[in-house]
Amino acid sequence: MDALRVAVVGSGPAGSYAADALLKSEEPRVEVDLLDRLPTPWGLVRLGVAPDHENIKAVSRAFEKTAARPGFRFFGNVEVGSTVGHEELLRVYDAIVYTVGAQTDRRLGIPGEDLPGSWAATEFVAWYNGHPDFQHCKFDLSHERAVVVGNGNVAIDCARMLALTAEELAPTDTTDEAIAAICGAGVKEIVMLGRRGPVQAAFTPPELKELGELAGADVIVEPRDLALDAASRRALDLDRERARRNYELLEEFAARPPAGKPRRIALRFLVSPVAILGGDRVEAVEVVRNELVEEGDRIVARPTGELEVIPAGLVLRSVGYKGVPLPGVPFDERSGTIPNERGRAAGAERTYVAGWIKRGPSGVIGTNKKDATETVELLLEDARGGRLVRAHDGPSLEDLLDAKGARYVDYAGWQAIDAAERAAGEPLGRPRVKLTAWEKLLETGAHKRLPTDRRTPFAS
């Protein structure tokens, strides 16, 4: 039996785990082409994980082992919808697995949200991580106060990055432009706003604990914000891992006298922004004090009418993410996902999903492994049942791309990019200095390709 040919679209954790599970199949044997719109693989591991979290980025070593398996190929700078279409891929492959994540931010829906100086947190994260689409962004860090709206790990990443010292940034792969901007920033206070209480905060204890270990920033928590209603106390008793540890850390911060460090990170709870104020740019954030009420089995925040204005020159919005539609693929606008049943896309033949585009933006990197495995098991079940049958043999993907005149980066090209970045970082004591311009990435990733299919053969 010929090997099953599968395209995995999106090379972040979900895509990499899906590729690994597929390539481990013995019956049927599977060949995997991993596609990404960027010239580089690994998605948010490369461009979303904070640069000072090198230990988390190390998961890419497992992905490199997957890439070394027989039957694997990488195609970077290939975007479904512009470079190739969904229907074209169905002619090339027996099945497609979309693992494209949640690529856009949820909106606050308040006046002033689009004022200059108000940014989606993902834009800031992409900028300091070297994403080639966001290097034109100009973040004005000259103001004394920045407000981060949100209470998850991305919000904490943004607050922490703004507070890092030059010595803390030096051994990271933060872009040179971001290092210079952060080190030269006028920011003295970063205020994080959470609409619910400390028990409901979405950040995790290790990330919260890190804030208290920063060399250049005191963490400020008002004891008032730690007072708990009855429902929150019950929730605290039920969650003795994340919520309990978070609350204990916050109590420690509240009891700790400020050490007089040059910057402050103020963690606020039970406040929601109702407007971003300013004329030509952000000047302040108006917030309302909330109270928590029980609605069935949920604890929700309800505004009290008590208003406060917080002067600020920078706002970073981190209130959630959602997927975007792919041309020719069903999409649920409400959930921001491709509708599916445990990974089988609804209303689309031979099409599957994994990761955030399957379940919404939840979980950590490792969550995607179980999620991707569930999807792959269904795909292989369909293959064994004879339900993955292409209408006719189509061209190979490289022939299709060559016919279109498309420039793409294969895995050897990515290895050339990787080697160049590591070589640039080594004399500086940094893991890498990233290439951040599209053209430079494509030039470095280009090399002479043989006219034959270079897929790694299966061992006999």
The answer, yes or no, to whether residue 365 has pLDDT greater than 90, is: no
- Is residue 179 very low, low, confident or very high in pLDDT (cuts 50, 70, 90)? very high
Distance CA 192, CA 25 (A): 46
Please state the rounded mean pLDDT for residues 193-208: 94
- Is residue 452 very low, low, confident or very high in pLDDT (cuts 50, 70, 90)? very low
In this prediction, residue 132 carries a pLDDT of 97
The answer, yes or no, to whether residue 451 has pLDDT greater than 70, is: no
The answer, yes or no, to whether residue 453 has pLDDT greater than 80, is: no
| pLDDT > 70 fraction of the chain, expressed in percent and rounded | 96
φ, ψ at 245 (rounded to 5°): -65, -40
Reduced 3-state DSSP string for the chain? CCCEEEEEECCCHHHHHHHHHHHCCECCEEEEEEEECCCCCCCHHHHCCCCCCHHHHCCHHHHHHHHCCCCEEEEECCCECCCECHHHHHHHCCEEEECCCCCEECCCCCCCCCCCCEEEHHHHHHHHHCCCCCCCCCCCCCCCEEEEECCCHHHHHHHHHHHCCHHHHCCCCCCHHHHHHHHCCCCCEEEEECCCCHHHCCCCHHHHHHHCCCCCEEEEECHHHHCCCHHHHHHHHHCCCHHHHHHHHHHHHHHCCCCCCCEEEEEECCEEEEEEECCCCCCEEEEEEEEEEEECCEEEEEEEEEEEEEECCEEEECCCEECCCCCCCCCECCCCECCEECCEECCCCCEEECCHHHHCCCCCCCHHHHHHHHHHHHHHHHHHCCCCCCCCCCCCHHHHHHHHCCCCECHHHHHHHHHHHHHHHHHHCCCCCCCCCHHHHHHHHCCCCCCCCCCCCCCC
Number of CB atoms found within 10 A of residue 110's CB: 16
Residue type, 364: V
Please state the rounded mean pLDDT for residues 196-207: 94
Query: Is-contact 336 314, C-beta < 8 A?
Result: no
Bridge partners of 308, per DSSP, are 287
- Is residue 456 very low, low, confident or very high in pLDDT (cuts 50, 70, 90)? very low
Q: Is 109 exposed, middle or buried (0-12, 13-18, 19+ CB in 10 A)?
A: exposed
In this prediction, residue 105 carries a pLDDT of 86
In this prediction, residue 1 carries a pLDDT of 58
Please state the rounded mean pLDDT for residues 350-371: 90
Distance CA 430, CA 54 (A): 10
Please state the rounded mean pLDDT for residues 364-384: 93
Average pLDDT, whole number, for the chain? 92
Residue with token string 């060949």: 31
23-37, 204-218, 318-332, 424-438: the lowest-pLDDT one: 318-332
| Residues sharing a CB contact under 8 Å with residue 140, sequence separation 6 or more, in sequence order | 117, 281, 313, 314
**At CA 437, angle to CA 10 and CA 361, rounded to 5?**
30
Distance CA 80, CA 329 (A): 10
Map out the domains of the chain as residue ranges: 4-103+322-445, 107-319
Please state the rounded mean pLDDT for residues 46-59: 90
Nearest C-alpha neighbor of 265 from the set 191, 213, 196: 191
- Is residue 238 very low, low, confident or very high in pLDDT (cuts 50, 70, 90)? confident
Nearest C-alpha neighbor of 384 from the set 2, 18, 8, 27: 27
In this prediction, residue 366 carries a pLDDT of 84
What is the strand order of the sheet 72-76 is part of?
A: 72-76, 30-36, 4-9, 95-98, 351-353, 344-345, 340-341
Please state the rounded mean pLDDT for residues 253-257: 96
Please state the rounded mean pLDDT for residues 84-111: 93
In this prediction, residue 130 carries a pLDDT of 97
Topology of domain 4-103+322-445 in CATH is: Rossmann fold (3.40.50)
Query: Is-contact 153 202, C-beta < 8 A?
Result: yes
In this prediction, residue 215 carries a pLDDT of 96
In this prediction, residue 2 carries a pLDDT of 81
pTM (two decimals):
0.92
Please state the rounded mean pLDDT for residues 329-352: 93
In this prediction, residue 57 carries a pLDDT of 86
- The CA-based diameter of the chain, rounded to the nearest angstrom, is 72
In this prediction, residue 460 carries a pLDDT of 26
Q: At what angle do helices 121-129 and 153-163 cross, to 10 degrees?
A: 50
| pLDDT > 90 fraction of the chain, expressed in percent and rounded | 82
Q: How far is CA 22 from CA 5, 8, 438, in A?
A: 10, 10, 30
Structure tokens that stand for 372 in this block = 């991707």
Topology of domain 107-319 in CATH is: FAD/NAD(P)-binding domain (3.50.50)
Please state the rounded mean pLDDT for residues 92-115: 93
Residue bearing the bigger pLDDT, 295 or 136: 136
Please state the rounded mean pLDDT for residues 427-436: 96
The answer, yes or no, to whether residue 342 has pLDDT greater than 80, is: yes
How remote is the C-alpha of 383 from its chain's centroid?
Answer: 31
